[in-house]
Chain A
């Protein structure tokens, strides 16, 4: 079954709803994300990514169309929308700015507590989430405001993971972190997804990160979905990506330049390891070049 499904969803923000300047943030979007994988969501600024993401957990309500999680229309009973917020955990951009509690553990427990969980289960959830997010145990009793930037980010991430969502949505989870921090946090998310079978949706501007961690990619442009394909196929179509102001990973650009110069390395290169293998293969067959 599809973890996330959207059927002809359209949406416009308040002031842009009517009148001559009416502009849709989402325009007749239909998509289906299978359960269990990691899907990337890319698009230029203002293409509707953040709006789309807030549709999935019911922060925004579509003007037209339906949003389904595990085949259930989330707006069938508007009063029960909260249960879908627990089902689809959303980590917003720069989530460290939403920390508020006295200790990290209390902050992580905020979500599960809202679900009505009690003492022991709460404790277990906090520890489990902290482990997935890569937070050491001794940090749990500290004030969240004493943590470093990267640790704060992880604490905020743990706060959502602790709700054990079936779908985890992350808006730019690695923005503003150094390369090691990016690897840690994205690697942790990937491990979490594989171990728990959680469906993950990541919004990012970093094509390298997308290439490294995503199984398939949704490309948005001008409030519509341009394509939704496996990662290799998306990046092999670099002409179309460029036409909507998007880039491809550096190594794909190298491959593109090689192809232009008559070296047939193939259009499906998007990780360095794969490229190295391909080049070796080509050299082995053709030692003079």
Chain B
């Protein structure tokens, strides 16, 4: 049961991108997302597509896996494409029939929007979900947000909560399966009947699940207190994050890329349509 669940989407690997400082990866993805939204012209999109392809190759993750991560968003992608196709007006009509008008600008725009979404998913997959463990992400987030501590935001506590929540997801899934089995063995039926009946059928699963979650939380709190955990103040870490030269190199490359896109938008605005 347990091994069936791929929790998060981290793909084991040892590529340059895998080994980047997770803080840098978070910042890079933000910058790259800004770059994707800044791109307005076909030339800029060509540059983005090529660079994304290079990143995918660098991670060593099969492109098929990245395409698969787009499946859940397929509906949104198609929906936005269709909306743009039919409702974008322009000067070059391609197809007209009664109330349907399709313009060349609409077609290009729809394609670019789809490309934009695909690039967004690829970028976050490549930099974050596929190459960074959830734990590394929360650690990095804690450090990136640490200036907020000055404003009395409990950054450490939030990140500790997130870490614990992540840690317990597989445990709770396991537990849920056990409880479902136990109640099924007593003849519980979750698959027939109307909405209300099905909702009621969940009670014998949810109550034991909540109780055991509270029990676990209580036990964990006691265990942490026994080891003198008091929170973020003066706490050191076993693995401290250190950025190396290659992290900075990567960071500046992305900045250059963004600058390039702005320049392309201005100087080679081939088919600038996206508004």
Contact = CB atoms under 8 A, between A and B. Distances in A.
Interface residues on A, range: 20 to 34
B185 A59 contact: yes
Contacts of B4: 13-15
Interface string A89-105: 11010010111110000
6 nearest interchain CB pairs?
A: A114-B187, A100-B207, A111-B186, A98-B182, A90-B185, A15-B3
A98 B185 CA distance: 11
A100 B207 CA distance: 6
A109 to B, nearest CB: 10
Interface in A45-97: 54, 57, 59, 82, 85-86, 89-90, 92, 95, 97
Interface of A: 13-16, 54, 57, 59, 82, 85-86, 89-90, 92, 95, 97-101, 110-111, 114-115, 145, 159-160, 163
Interface residues of B, number: 21
Contact of A82 (B178, B187, B205): B187
Question: Which residue of A14, A89, A90, A114 has the most chain B CB atoms within 10 A of its CB atom?
Answer: A114
Interface string B1-24: 101100000000000000000000
A82 B185 CA distance: 8
A282 B149 CA distance: 81
Interface majority SS (helix, strand, loop, mixed), chain B: helix
Contacts of B184: 59, 85
15 contacts: A13-B4, A54-B181, A85-B185, A90-B185, A92-B181, A95-B182, A97-B208, A98-B208, A100-B203, A100-B204, A110-B183, A111-B186, A114-B186, A114-B189, A159-B186
A98 B187 contact: no
Contacts of A115: 187
Interface of B: 1, 3-4, 178-179, 181-189, 203-205, 207-208, 211-212
Contact of A111 (B1, B178, B187, B211): B187
Given A97-B212, A100-B204, A100-B207, A92 B186 contact: no
A100 B186 CA distance: 13
Contacts of A163: 186-187
B188 A114 contact: yes
B208 A100 contact: yes
A4 B231 CA distance: 56
Given A14-B4, A97-B212, A99-B208, A92 B188 contact: no
A169 to B, nearest CB: 9
A223 B95 CA distance: 66
A59 B177 CA distance: 11
Contacts of A90: 182, 185
A92 B181 CA distance: 8
Contact of A92 (B3, B185, B187): B185
Contacts of B3: 13-16
B179 A97 contact: yes
